[in-house]
Structure 1
Amino acid sequence: MAVTLRESTEELEQQTLSPYAALATATKGRLRPIPPCAIRTCYQRDIDRIVHSKSFRRLMHKTQVFLQPEGDHYRTRMTHTLEVARIARTIARGLRLNEDLTEAIALGHDLGHTPFGHAGERILNEILPGGFRHNEQSLRVVDRLENGGDGLNLCYEVRRGILCHTGPDRAETLEGQVVRLSDKIAYINHDIDDAMRGGIIYPLDIPLDISQVLGFDHSGRINTLVGDVIRASQGKDKICQSEACGSAMARLRAFMFEAVYHNPIAKGEESKAQDMIARLFEYYQKDPDKLPPDYQDIRMREGVDRAVCDYIAGMTDKYAVEKYCEAYVPLAWSVK
Structure 2
Amino acid sequence: MNIRENYEQFEMDHLSLQASKSKLSKGRLTEEPKCEIRTDYQRDRDRILHSKAFRRLKHKTQVFLSPEGDHYRTRLTHTLEVSQIARTIARSLNLNEDLTEAIALGHDLGHTPFGHTGERILNELCESGFKHNEQSLRVVDFLEIRNEKQGLNLTYEVRDGILNHPLGYKAATLEGQIVNISDRVAYINHDLDDAIRANIIKPGQLPEKFLKQLGYSHGQRINTMIVDIIYNSINNDKIVMSDVIAQSTTELRDFLFENVYYNKIAKSEEEKTTFIVEKIFEYYIKHFDCLPEFYFKIYNEGRFTKSEIIKDYIAGMTDRYAMKIFEDFYIPKPWRQ
TM value normalised by structure 2: 0.97
- 2:24 corresponds to: 26
Residue identity opposite 1:38 in structure 2: E
Task: Give the stretch that moved more between structures: 108-117 or 163-172.
Answer: 163-172
- Percent identity between the two aligned chains: 57
Q: Which residue is 1:213 aligned to?
A: 213
Partner of 1:199: 199
- Once the two structures are overlaid, the 10-residue window that deviates more, 147-156 or 184-193, is 147-156
CA RMSD for the aligned pairs?
1.0
Q: Which residue of 1 aligns with 2:127?
A: 129
2:65 equivalent among 64, 67, 77? 67
Instruction: Give the letter for the 1:104 counterpart.
Output: A
Is it true that 1:330 corresponds to 2:305 in the alignment? no
Contact persistence 2:126–2:307 (CA under 8 A): yes
Question: Aligned with 1:91: secondary structure?
Answer: helix
Query: Could you give the per-residue CA deviations for residues 90-138 of structure 1, whole angstroms, max 9, x where no partner exists?
Result: 0001110000000000000000000000000000011111210000000
CA-CA distance at 1:167 after TM superposition: 5.5
Contact 1:149 1:294 in 2 (8 A): no
Query: Structure 1 residues 84, 90: closer, same or farther in 2, change over 3 A?
Result: same
Alpha-carbon distance in 1 for matches of 2:203, 2:91: 31
Q: Which runs of 5+ in 1 are unaligned?
A: none
**In 2, Cα distance between equivalents of 1:149 and 1:175:** 28
Code of the aligned partner of 1:42: D
State the match for 1:311 in structure 2: 313
CA deviation after TM superposition for structure 1 residue 244, in Å: 0.9
Residue 86 of structure 1: aligned partner: 84
Contact preservation (8 Å) 2:128, 2:308:
no
Other-structure match for 2:322: 320
Matching residue of 1:10 = 8
Task: Specify the code of the residue in structure 2 equivalent to 1:119.
Answer: T
Q: Following superposition, which runs of at least 4 residues in structure 1 exceed 6 angstroms of deviation?
A: none
Amino acid at match of 1:317: D
Q: How does 1:145-294 map to 2 (within 5 A)?
A: 145-147=143-145, 150-166=150-166, 168-294=168-294
The CA deviation string for residues 125-152 of structure 1, in whole angstroms up to 9 with x for no partner, is 1111121000000000000000156100
Paired with 2:321 and 2:280, the residues of 1 have a C-alpha distance of: 12
Contact 1:161/1:179 (CA < 8 Å) preserved in 2? yes
The more displaced of 161-170 and 243-252 is 161-170
**Residue deviations 1:150-185, cap 9 Å, x none?**
100000000000000015431110000000000000
Per the TM alignment, residue 334 of structure 1 is displaced from its structure 2 partner at its CA by 4.7
Task: Kindly indicate whether the alpha-carbon contact (under 8 Å) linking 2:110 and 2:132 is maintained by their aligned counterparts in 1.
Answer: yes
CA–CA separation in structure 1 for the residues paired with 2:9 and 2:203: 48
AA aligned to 1:126 is E
- Opposite residue 43 of structure 1, the aligned amino acid is Y
Contact 1:299 1:307 in 2 (8 A): yes
**2: distance between equivalents of 1:283 and 1:123?**
15
Report Cα offsets for 1:77-102 as digits up to 9, x if no partner.
00000000000000001110000000
In structure 1, distance between residues paired with 2:62 and 2:149:
27
- Following the alignment from structure 2 to structure 1, what is the Cα–Cα distance between the partners of residues 203 and 12? 46
Q: After the TM superposition, which of the residue ranges 203-212 and 180-189 deviates more from structure 2?
A: 203-212
- Matched residue type, 1:25: K
Query: What is the rounded CA distance, in whole Å, between the counterparts of 2:184 and 2:204 in structure 1?
Result: 22
| Contact 2:73 2:190 (C-alpha < 8 Å) held by counterparts | yes
* Residue identity matched to 1:150: Q
User: Displacement of 1:203 after TM fit?
Assistant: 3.9
Deviates more, 1:165-174 or 1:121-130: 165-174
Deviation at 1:297, TM superposition (A): 2.0
Q: Is the 8 A contact 2:167 2:180 kept in 1?
A: no
Q: Give me the whole-angstrom Cα distance separating, in 1, the residues matched to 2:46 and 2:260.
A: 35
Contact residue 298 and residue 306 of structure 1 kept, 8 A: no
Which has the higher mean CA deviation after the structures are superposed, 265-274 or 140-149? 140-149
CA distance in 2, matches of 1:167, 1:131: 18
Q: Could you list the runs of 5+ residues in structure 2 that have no partner in the other structure?
A: none
Letter in structure 2 aligned against 1:125: N
Letter aligned with residue 319 of structure 1 = Y
Matched, 1:50 2:52: no
TM-score, reference length from structure 1: 0.97
